[in-house]
Structure 1
Amino acid sequence: MKAMKRTTLATLINAALFSAAAGSSFSSIAAEQQGPAAKDNSLEVIQITARKRVENAQEVPVAVSALQGDGLEAYSSAGMDIRFMNAKIPSLSIESSFGRSFPRFYVRGLGNTDFDLNASQPVSLVVDEVVQENAILKGFPVFDVARVEVLRGPQGTLFGRNTPAGLVKFDTVKPSQEFEGYGSVSYGSRGAVDFEGAVGGGLTDRLSTRVSLLWQEKDDYIDNRAPGFEQEDVLGGYSEKAARVQFLYEGDDFTGLFNYHVRDLDGTPIAFRANAIKRGSNDLVDNFEHDVVYHDAASRATQQVESQGASLKLEWDVNDFYTLTSISAWESAEIYSRADIDGGYGAAFLPDMGPGVIPFPSESADGIPDQDQYTQELRLSSNFAGDFNYQVGVFYFDEALTIENFSYDTYGAQPGILNGYVIQQQDTKAWAVFGSADYTLTDDLKVTVGLRYSDDEKEFSANRTQSPVGGGALLLTENPSDDHVSWDISTNYKVSDDINWYARVANSFRAPSIQGRILFGNEVTIAESETVTSFETGIKSDILDGRGRVNAAVFYYTMDDQQLTAVGGGANFNRLVNADETTGYGFEVDTQWVLTDNLNATFNLSYNNTELKDDTLAVDVCAQCIVTNPVNNSGQAILDGNSLPHAPEWISNLTLSYMRPMGEGDFFTYADVSYRSEINYFLYESVEFEGKPLTEVGLRAGYTWYQGDNEYEVSAFVRNMFDEQQAIGAIDFNNNTAMVNEERYIGAEFKVSFF
């Protein structure tokens, strides 16, 4: 185990203290500073739905963190996409090689680096109780959200397939009979404008509605300086619109909630930067400029995403003893994303190239012209007053997915002409039956047992009609299937009125995955189901007469047949593989403090150690980097003993929140410091593709006041205050192409809330 350097902790603490402000995120239990909790100097009780019941977060035997209230608003507002949660919650990181779409989640080191549009992930996203299976669905903007919950560890019993690492759960603000709403507008760096708002109230005594809107826009600001392709302000911008309409009917023993949501994104993908990583180190090159690229295909780069969905949740109270719940949902997404993948201009076999060595040009695109997902859940929950309660249910999942892969000839008589095309078709059908039972053994000891049977089947085809390397036409089909029994056993023991101890053992799986990206290869690869068994124990405590809260957990897991993607490499072909065994262990600490009547703080810290254990597993390596793993006779890196990619050992977040009366209102400041340690970008280890530790500081200050029935707020804010710039991802098959984190962002916001 590597020890965290004391200088790293000191940096985190000092940066937060000297930023002279206050925290915006309450990463286990965020409290609204103007609520009752702040007034009586104690932390509020946080109600969550991690187990599909409304429960006190401190009494749930699951490692769960939540963002809500002022913390969630400060992080997610003003042009942020779902990646705002990266390193804000213990053991959670998020990254994307597509930019504002296709986020990839990692919990306790487990995730998936695969950028194929058919890639599955071991961390599931559930929005308003509907699973968002395809990665494009996961990128829906975050606005008018009441609470975000992150459940760490396997969640297969209640939430099903593809949750062996954990679950991220969003609950939007629901309609009510009260007339209320808000509107906010912000302006920031590079001409970024953000507007969001919502309004809702009762239409009749039983029917209410809520309409939520989002509009975000940012100018293109990245100049292209490639010789012969010079163009100003060609990349980096976007225009995004989204809306959500909800209707809630509340009868005597029946409620019905209808939700329709839609998204439209038109922009450019994340900028790829050729040879931006200095060879022999993991530093950016000396002359790096964030707003400059050297592309020969920048003028054709585009990213367009459209998605929509609807759900209907019906609930009946039966004889005061049972609740019957039905959730029917449909989700649909389309995307087309095209980019200069090599990140430079020219090639080694052409008269000119740069920056650095470009072995060959690469311009490609991926698209989903059609995707439809249908889900149905039906569950029965008991509401007994005694020691025993349970849930039972059935679940059905049906997805039809079409994926297109394109390759383009950057040079020749017609630059940008198509020279490779693959169409993938996949139909997935899955169903499950599940149950969970809670039993109170004594006044202080409760036990929960859960069981789920899942059945999963895919029908897949990949049809290549044209290959950029002369491979010719090819049609391949596969139909993998599997079933699995997931289970969990947990106990919760009340040590005292303020301290709960829990222990949990859980097993779950990820269904078989398929990789059919055959533009450059001649095989469809399949990863068999992965299974995980996790052991964890922890405490959840309220201390100092309710002015402090400390939650801590330790865990250990073993994963058999982990699904991994050998991304890129010199062979330029993605291949799915299974590792014999992967182990992980670590700890998580989540705290919140009321320091004074005006000052609150949170601090969280997590350590994750992951290790691949497979002495026969080897993958292709980069074209120009220095590999530090041992290699076999075929020049492939041997992965045995490696940690998982994009799995930082350390994640930490420190926040401070200060508020005091001033004049007719309140002055407030928020600050946060987020840290994650070094990461590997790929399965193999190399000098250039080890990402440096990343520390980002955010600050927000403003003033709120009431006038009539309205509350007003003005604020100024900065993200990545010290403008730390470094590579956060890479492409390895051609050159040392890097993706870089967002530069410093400065802005101002005005908000009005009405009641």
Structure 2
Amino acid sequence: MIKMSKMHKRVIAAHGAVLALSALPLAEAVAQSAAPELQTVTVTAQRRTENIREVPVSVTALKGEKLDVLISGGQDIRLLAGKVPSLNVESSNGRTFPRFYIRGYGNTDFNTFASQPVSLVYDDVVQENPILKGYPIFDVASVEVLRGPQGTLFGRNTPAGVVKFESEKPKLGKTEGYYNLSAATHNTVNADGAVNVPLSDKWAMRVSVLGQHRDDYVKNYSDTAKTRLRNELDGYNEHAERVQFLYNPGGSFNALINVHQRQTQGSARLFRANLIKKGSNTFADGTDLDSIVTNAQNFQRLKTNGANLRLSWDLGAVKLFSITGFEHVSDYYSRGDIDAGTPAGPGFIPFQVETGGFLSDLDQYTQEFRVESKSTGPFNWQAGVYYFNEDATGGQDNFNSDSGARTSRLISNQENKAWAAFASATYVINPAWTVRGGIRYTKDEKDFRTVFSENVVQIGPGSVSTSQDKVNWDLSATYKLTENVNLYGRAATGFRAPSVAAASASVPITVADSETIKSYELGVKADLFDRRARTSFSIYDYTVEDQQLTVVGGNSNVNRLINADKTKGKGAEFDFEAAVSSALRVSAGASYNYTQIRDGSLSVNKCAQCTVTDPLNAAGRVVINGNPLPQAPRWTINATARYGVPFRDGELYVFTDWSYRTKINFFLYEATEFTGAPLTEGGLRVGYIFGNGKYEIAGFGRNILDQRRITGAIDFNNLTGFTNEPRQWGVQFKGNF
């Protein structure tokens, strides 16, 4: 049973009432209009294709035009932040190494071998290392965000949830495709397209390509007087390709082959020395976000490739699936100025720090066999086995900012092997009641070692090994209140295997023990007004035992893992979509996420120059008991509206989308300067669709209010920070054939 304090119940109830009351006029308009029915949204949250209303999980799907609008300006995967309830995405590495948070639960670890409690699954293959999670979004059929533990059917490191991508697949019988080109501020160019080619009556091929470019536009000056231009930064060049082959002979067998690759190069994250005004969380006086002062090299490059093979056999009473995946990183290097300035400033900089993080080689192999029943009766089931093998080598360099010479290097290797067996069943008790349950056993082993050191005297042992096994389960019930309204309840557990952080000159190899979660959720999902609107609302409560937390900075450039005795989370989520009329379509979402670390024994080093608001212990360290998790906004709200009218032989439309989040903490401790201010970002698109829907031309804007906020920081040297993306205006042309 979900337990909440009276205060939180009142807060959630009050905001729920506000949302409900605000929706009444809209609901009345929907009920009275001649709006068309909404198309049924199907998801694969339970590894089967189902109506989203029937799935007893808090899930949001992004598809079609809404997804196309979000990616129109060439943004990377971080664009998903705040676009659905309870989801945040951020990175201190720019377009690579994204970090995901669901219901406030994530991981700020920037270690090359970091694990995350939010799993990213692309075309049924888990992308475990954070470097793999940044594959660009193009020619994608859907993005599903599954909130809460998914430890039975998806299993691997999913205690917070899953973000699931599914590419458009090849089709037999017809040559078709699309092409898309946009140009925007700072000479940003995005070009992508796909073509589906039937090769025979049994074979089809789909080729999807993407190219992205942005000019370096942030001017870098060699001194604080800004008298001499050195170079410019914050541009990128990226391209990615995906080729798929479908074999469908029309019988019981089906095969889908997927080969893909990505290459990107450009600027690493731009850190800015003393960006934050002392005693506040606003920009320092005189800040110019189109310029920077740094004496270090800044660049980033990445090459990845992979393939997967999905096979299925229809055996009559059951269907058998085999999913084989391979992912490879051949080169990743990110180098930047950690002190974010020069000896002359801006502001006070105690010492110079320039580092580079890299992955020289990563191979990930996965294999899953799954069988599911096809019964027309009340009982259905699925079961399978899963194998994971990762071998990764990477490390960190330090440099002399004046000469550019490398001063030290530490290289580590991690081998991670895991296997699991799982089963899940659904039983329809009667037309009103359906129950589901699942169980999964996981065995996870890691071997970690330092393989090379240069000018580093490593503290502690040079290698560690961990091993952990765990049984997870979930149980849910759905009650059909009416033909179009479902109530559900769900209890679930999750598990994240022990994590290892590489050593540095001042910190030994650290290991965080495995973490577990118990989660309880109640919700309602409904189709309304003759299916011209749909809504969902859920409340949840979870407890994480031994949560893995990352201690960064404080008084040196370190990354260290610890475990918190307990973390509590509770909140609510709301989704709504409606066709108000044949011309107007709207959507809205909101989430309330309350998190709290509960461990009176935990303390961390404090920042070098900030104003700490937490208590200090006798050793002068910051006590973090009672603090919220980092990067966990209390409230997020999103909304879209589309209005279209016939014009000549096509449709003229306006589309706008908005997201808002409240303040966030950057670190485990609370400090005035390292609290991110609330952020509102809006998009606007005006377009014309013509040629019987084949062509579209549009003008668009992203972050149209140009609201700039400090979204992350480095705390051990000065008041260094980095920001969200600037406003962007552009034009786009898209064609279908």
Q: What TM-score do the two structures reach when normalised by structure 2?
A: 0.94
- For 1:8-157, what aligned pairs fall within 5 Å after superposition? 41-157=36-152
Query: Do the aligned partners of 2:408 and 2:453 also contact (CA within 8 Å) in 1?
Result: yes
In structure 2, C-alpha distance between the alignment counterparts of 1:517 and 1:665, rounded to whole Å: 61
- Give the C-alpha shift of residue 231 in structure 1: 3.0
Match of 1:705 among 690, 693, 697: 690
Amino acid at match of 2:698: S
Report the alpha carbon displacement of residue 287 of structure 1 after superposing the two structures with TM. 1.1
Provide the residue aligned with 1:170 in structure 2.
165
SS at match of 2:462: strand
1:240-251 aligned at under 5 Å gives the runs 240-251=238-249
- Structure 2 gaps of 5+ residues are 1-6, 24-32
1:203 equivalent in structure 2: 199
Deviation track 1:128-178 (CA, whole Å, cap 9, x = no partner) reads 000000001000000000000000000010011210000000000000022
Q: Distance in 2 between matches of 1:254 and 1:611?
A: 50
Are 1:254 and 2:249 an aligned pair? no
Task: Choose the corresponding residue for 2:378, options 369, 387, 411.
Answer: 387
Q: Distance in 2 between matches of 1:212 and 1:232?
A: 38
Paired with 1:123 and 1:235, the residues of 2 have a C-alpha distance of: 31
Please give the secondary structure, in 1, of the residue aligned with 2:691: strand
Conserved in 2, the CA contact under 8 Å of 1:504 and 1:535? yes
Opposite residue 356 of structure 1, the aligned amino acid is G
Output the CA distance in 1 between the equivalents of 2:599 and 2:200. 63
* Contact in 1 for aligned 2:275/2:720 (Cα 8 Å): yes
The answer as to whether partners of 2:318 and 2:374 remain within 8 angstroms in 1 is yes
Decide whether the 8 Å contact of 1:547 with 1:594 is kept in 2: yes
The 8 Å contact of residues 466 and 473 in structure 1, kept in 2 or not, is answered as: no
Q: Distance in 1 between matches of 2:100 and 2:699?
A: 30
Tell me, yes or no, if structure 1 residue 409 matches structure 2 residue 400: yes
Amino acid at match of 1:507: T
Equivalent residue in structure 2 for 1:729, among 712, 719, 724: 712
1:554 matched to 2:557: no
Partner of 2:324: 328
**Identical-residue share of aligned pairs (%):** 46
Q: What residue identity is the alignment partner of 2:121?
A: V
Equivalent position of 1:653 in the other structure: 638
Moved more, 119-128 or 564-573: 564-573
Give the SS at the match of 1:158.
coil
Matched, 1:339 2:330: no
Query: Cα deviations across residues 584-626 of structure 1 (Å, max 9, x unaligned)?
Result: 0000010011111100111111000001110000111111101
Structure 1 position 329, deviation (Å): 0.8
Describe the superposition over 1:5-58 as per-residue Cα deviations: whole angstroms up to 9, x where unpaired: 99999x999xx9xxxxxxxxxxxxxxxxxxxxx996111111111111011110
| Contact 1:373/1:399, CA 8 A, preserved across alignment | yes
The whole-number CA distance in structure 2 between the counterparts of 1:12 and 1:387 is 37
Match of 2:414 in 1: 426
Contact 1:444 1:493 in 2 (8 A): yes
Q: 1:488 to 1:474 in 2, by over 3 A?
A: closer
Give 1:464 shift. Answer: 5.5
> Do the aligned residues in 2 keep the contact of 1:463 with 1:473 (CA within 8 Å)?
no
RMSD over aligned CA atoms reads 2.1
SS at match of 2:53: helix
**Letter aligned with residue 229 of structure 2:** Q
Instruction: Please report the TM-score for the alignment, with normalisation by the length of structure 1.
Output: 0.92
Structure-1 separation of matches of 2:193 and 2:327? 23
Counterpart of 1:276 in structure 2: which amino acid? L
Within the candidate set 728, 731, 735, 1:745 is matched to: 728
| Contact 1:12 1:675 (8 Å CA) reproduced | no
- How far does the alpha carbon of each residue in 1:462-493 deviate from its partner, in whole angstroms, 9 at most, with x for none? 246234xx746986100011000010001111
Q: Does 1:466 align with 2:454?
A: yes
Equivalent in the alignment of 2:474: 488
How many pairs align? 714
Distance in 2 between residues matched to 1:597 and 1:40, nearest whole Å:
5
* Distance (whole Å) between structure 2 residues aligned to residue 364 and residue 236 of structure 1: 18
Equivalent AA in structure 2 for residue 491 of structure 1: A
Distance in 2 between the 1:100 and 1:620 partners?
A: 29
State the distance in 2 between where 1:39 and 1:142 align.
35
Q: Compared with structure 1, are the counterparts of its residues 572 and 633 closer, same or farther at alpha carbon in structure 2 (3 Å cutoff)? A: farther
Corresponding residue for residue 4 of structure 2? none
Which residue of structure 2 lines up, in the alignment, with residue 264 of structure 1?
Answer: 263
Report SS of the residue matched to 1:167: strand
Instruction: Give the Cα separation in 2 of the matches to 1:594 and 1:511.
Output: 44
CA contact (8 A) 1:462 1:475 kept: no
The 3 A distance-change label for structure 1 pair 117 and 197 is: same
> Where do residues 209-228 of structure 1 align in structure 2 (5 Å cutoff)?
209-227=205-223
Aligned to 2:556: 571
Partners of 2:349 and 2:202 in 1: how far apart? 65
Per the alignment, residue 26 of structure 1 pairs with none
Q: 1:678 to 1:46 in 2, by over 3 A?
A: same
Match of 2:440 in 1: 452
Unaligned runs of 5+ in 1: 17-37, 347-352
| Deviation (angstroms), 1:420 | 1.3
